[in-house]
Amino acid sequence: MTLQEYDYARESPSKLAASCLLLALIMKNLGGWTPTLEYYSGYSAQDLHPLVKRLNFLLTYQPRDKLNAVRSKYSHRVFFEVAKVTPMDMLKLEETLTSC
């Protein structure tokens, strides 16, 4: 989704990937940012917080008229129906990020 948004073009691909991973870990209740992830990614959880919030905002307020083919593809069980995952509540995300 970020490929079509100019606001994300200035972010480094590694930081974007790390932020997406942190958001996915939080959304699926799989834990937080571990020292191992920090070591290998080069980013602390605090470095990623602003971008994680922006990504969740993008998921929450995505226009439904764009990316229909992508949404349809990733709604299939072969891709674990990731397009159907509901975004996190912004307040709950903020609480979770402050505890990381």
Alpha helices in 1-100, H assignment, sequence order: 13-27, 35-41, 45-60, 68-73, 90-99
Please report the DSSP string for 64-76 in residue order.
TTS-HHHHHHTTS
CA distances in angstroms from 42 to 1, 2, 30, 99, listed in the order given: 24, 21, 20, 20
Would you state the pLDDT for residue 43? 97
CB 90 within 8 A of CB 53: yes
**How do the domains of the chain map onto residue ranges?**
2-99
Q: Which two tokens stand for residue 72?
A: 């349809």
At 41-100, the pLDDT tens digits run 999 999 999 999 999 998 888 766 666 787 788 889 998 888 888 889 999 999 999 887
Would you state the pLDDT for residue 64? 64
Fold designation for 2-99: Cyclin A; domain 1 (1.10.472)
At 10-37, the pLDDT tens digits run 999 999 999 999 999 999 899 889 999 9
Would you state the pLDDT for residue 61? 82
Determine how many CB atoms are found less than 10 A away from the CB of residue 15.
Answer: 15
Q: Which two tokens stand for residue 41?
A: 């990614």
